Amino acid sequence: MKRYNERTKRYHNNQLFYKNQKQFFRSLEDDTRVEGEPPKTEDMYNYWHAIWGKDKKHDDRASWIKEAESESWKYGMEDIKISRTDVQCVIKRTNNWAAPGPDKIQNYWWKHFTSTHQALANLFQKSLLEPTVIPKSLTLGTTLMIPKGNITSDPKNFRPITCLPTIYKILTGTLTMHIWKHVREHHILAREQNGCCKDAKGCKELLLIDQIITGQAKSKLRNISIAWIDYKKAFDSVPHSW
């Protein structure tokens, strides 16, 4: 029975990973229940306002920026021409009922109102030439606070998730598709790069690898040495002017 249950669970996990990776990684969490008293609204506001409202500018004259600019000629990118096919390709990969932004329009409607696809391509192309034509409402989102484990009264134990308008994500998805094509053709990123890569969940994949290796070392009584580098949260420390 133990072998049967393990085989069934393994088969289920393989199918879930193939069909829905996000749901698979969520299922690995042992306890998803949340308990406790949430913080007061004013405490939550004051904590995050100190981060979001901080007007800090990055150093635009840093030496490494000048070095990167001097080498940029090697990877010159041609002008992007957004077509209807590009928009349809991006929309096809979206989740039908993903949480929308303040506009409340879900991807399902963009998929099936095909008469809008050419109009979207034209508008996206225009926004590349004249970024000022993009309305501010396109970049406004609804932010939800998700607790990290059990709910506590400490605002810093929550992580913000912002739901942006789906049309904005279609625009950025279209641009990303062209940028990644350029990145692959010119081999700009190293093979070892795991973060910010297309079709990859770098952090979660590396955590799984770490879990498997340490588990094997423990079960087989092998010696193992591991070094961790602890970084501060980028959102709290990197100037938003980037």
Q: What is the pLDDT along the chain (242 residues), one digit of tens a residue?
A: 989 988 998 898 888 888 777 778 777 765 555 667 888 999 999 988 887 777 777 888 888 888 888 877 778 888 999 999 999 999 999 988 888 999 999 999 999 999 999 999 999 999 999 999 999 999 899 988 888 877 788 888 888 889 999 999 999 999 999 999 998 888 888 877 777 777 777 778 888 888 999 999 999 999 999 887 776 666 666 777 77
On whether residue 211 sits in a domain, the answer given is no
Range of the domain at 105: 33-41+78-192
Structure tokens at 140: 């406004």
On whether residue 85 sits in a domain, the answer given is yes
What is the tally of structural domains in the chain? 1
CA angle 110, 172, 78 (to 5 degrees): 120
On whether residue 238 sits in a domain, the answer given is no
On whether residue 166 sits in a domain, the answer given is yes
On whether residue 66 sits in a domain, the answer given is no
On whether residue 27 sits in a domain, the answer given is no
Structure tokens at 25: 């990684």
pLDDT at 174 (0 to 100): 96
State pTM to two decimals. 0.70
On whether residue 72 sits in a domain, the answer given is no
DSSP strands (E only) in the chain:
142-147, 158-163
